[in-house]
Amino acid sequence: MHACVTDYEALYNDAYRARRGEHTSFDRSVLPSLVAEKSLGLGCKKHLDVSGGQGNLGRDLAELGITTTTTDIGALPGSPVLPFNLAVSDDSATRRVLNEIHATDDSYLTSCFDVLEHIDREHVAAAVHNLATLADQHLIVSISTRPSAYDNLLHATLLPIAAWIACFRLAGFEVKTIDVFPEAQHKPDFPDVEDLQLVHHWMNTDVFEDVEFGEPRYVHFEKVTSAPDLSLLKRDIDAVVDVGYRIEKRKAFEPASAQDFVFALHFSQEWSLIRPFLDVLPRDRVHVLIKRGGLQPLHHRAIISFLTRCNVKTTVFDQVPDLDFAEIAGRTLILGAESTATAAHLSGFELSATARLHGCRTVLLQHGVWPRPFDDQIISFASETLFTWSAEEQRRLNKHHHEVFGGQFPWGHISDAQNQPIGSPKFADQLLYPPSHLEWKLGVDRNRFDKAVLLCSKNLRGRWGIHESQETSLAGYEKVIASNPDTFFLVKPHPVDGVDPFLVLRHFPNVRLFDEIIGTLSDSPLNRLLPAIDLVATGPSSVVVDAAVSAKPVFVFDTGQPVELEHMKAQPIDALGRTLHDAAALQTLSDRSSALKDLYARNSDQDFYAKAAEFLSQPAGINDPGDLAKAATLSSTANRALRDGTALRAEIVELQLALEKAEARVTDLEKTGADTHQHTDPRPPFLARKKRQIMRQFNKLSGARAGTKP
């Protein structure tokens, strides 16, 4: 099974079923009576409960005069519950259930409660087809549209209610009533505990705008036509839940899928580069390494949960030397970021160089554009191969010169042997197969809006000496959003910002918030949302290339930073509203996107997986002694730099604590009314001077800009 698909056997084993016992996720004092009343009102004295666990609902209904047949994948031997796997199409199993309930006799109500969100989206078509085949005329399902506890370990498919309705309509159903059992819906008050932090994040963000309805949503469907053939239904439902494009990817990448791959994550942004490969590789061929402390904490948890649910081998590490390279030796290592640019990049640099010493083929995926040189640094890469978006990446580093310690040298270096301009997996995923609509992705009614805009925040992190005010940025966003109520805005905060500051925008009816955490929890990558967007608005950044790949006009708003990429022209964000309604201006932005793609992503197309498979299927080159010696040198140099950086960071912390204690002493003296001039100043100036000196050392070592916090 592929590394992106839920491993039910690993999750729902005997231990899981034993823990559940007599537990039900619904209130037994409320739901059974509602089901019985509805069933009798429809003239149904029989009931089919699909995937009903150990039959608790059926036992309760029996006391109310309803005869129930229960099915479940985990039916125990000797139990009256019929074994039936809702996620798999099996005609013989379906016939056994229909024979048991005597489907040709009296009419019956079919239910499926607390199940659908546990079905992996690749199996939704089979599950809906099974329900369409088993149902008589009336079907009631419950749907949860939020993550589960345990860091969303158990909810495999998070879709808005509109997407589920679309799936059942394709199977021959029409909606009778949404929220047919409002008495059974509730708004849970989630306690502030560790394994519910992701649920809190989801509920606060309210990306589907349905938190107010409570949960689960009980929907009553009526069958109006027979379900189409499963193959046809699967094609259409796969388009709704947006997994159809994976088939094309798998066919293209198949020549390389029998290899063993190791992926490394050091930043939250790298997930968008690594995640696409999990669609094309078997889970037993994948090992994911995650640098502890590198990702945003909640995003780290969401990724770990996803990989655990899919039963993908995962290792969280602190330092590269801690890894067991015997497990990695001889595999293909793919990274999303490594270079000599910063301390954070050096960890990936060290990993790549060390992996080469253990016979690994190493591949670096381009994650952005180098817009400028780093002071007194020449950027280099440890990986044997760089999959770049175009030849511009190599030209930009190799041909631009700057001063390094008194001499003129290139910004960086990519050799001809390293450079493979074959594009990007995240770009290819934008272009494969038509994506699903925003209504199915986010529950957005596009009929209410003229246009859809992706608005991306930009955190400058003190670079260029700019310490931007988040309040000022938000005020600009609020103004353009409020003045364009007919435009839908999907607001994507920068990972460093986090989503919390942007929650103030939720009161606008034309806004949804979407960050990496939401995208990972719902397994809805931004690259599959972009094709459904009409325009991208962002500060100067490589997001403009993402937009250009999908041929979307891109509006670059002024943040005070220099505009360092070609074909970009920044404007005040206030001009966005006017641009949205100016056909000539939109055409100009579209032309600019075309020029951006031609320069920065010329080789990015839907053929990435075929090109990558062709390259990776070729025998790996044998490193000669000189190459191995170079890799060893690179690895040891990176390790020493990281250790020096860690030591400096610890010294900075110690000095900061000393300064804080001194400040506290001054405060105490002032509170007691003491004449501080009669005492030795408890804030020795050498502490502050020493801290500044070490900060300069640290920033030079890490490549950070002046004023950046370690």
Between 176 and 343, the higher pLDDT residue: 176
Tokens coding 83: 């074994």
Cβ burial, residue 65 (10 Å; 0-12/13-18/19+)? exposed
CA distance 672 to 574: 53
CA distance 357 to 14: 43
- What percent of the chain is predicted at pLDDT more than 70? 84
Q: How much is the CA Rg of the chain, to the nearest whole Å? A: 29
pLDDT in tens, 650-701: 665 666 666 667 667 666 766 776 554 555 555 556 555 655 665 565 555 5
**Residue 704: DSSP 8-state:** P
Does residue 708 have a pLDDT over 50?
no
Tell me the pLDDT band of 344, cut-offs 50, 70 and 90.
confident
Pairing of strands 217-223, 173-178: antiparallel
Tell me the pLDDT band of 458, cut-offs 50, 70 and 90.
confident
Angle at CA of residue 6, ends 233 and 111, nearest 5°: 55
Tell me the pLDDT band of 492, cut-offs 50, 70 and 90.
very high
pLDDT in tens, 597-622: 999 999 999 999 999 999 999 887 65
Indicate the pTM of the whole model.
0.88
Does residue 192 have a pLDDT over 90?
no
CA distance 336 to 165: 37
The SS3 of residue 497 is: coil
Q: What CATH superfamily classification does 440-604 receive?
A: Glycogen Phosphorylase B; (3.40.50.2000)
Tokens coding 449: 């809006």
| Domain 246-427+612-617 CATH class label | alpha beta
The SS3 of residue 270 is: helix
Closest CA to 350 of 321, 386, 387: 321
Tokens coding 616: 């990776």
Tell me the pLDDT band of 375, cut-offs 50, 70 and 90.
confident
Tell me the pLDDT band of 709, cut-offs 50, 70 and 90.
very low
Q: Give me the half-sphere count of Cα atoms (radius 13 Å) on the Cβ side of residue 278.
A: 28
- Poorest-pLDDT segment among 188-192, 433-437, 686-690: 686-690
- Is 8-241 a domain of CATH 3.40.50.150? yes
Strands (E), 131-207: 138-143, 173-178
Q: pLDDT at position 710, please?
A: 37
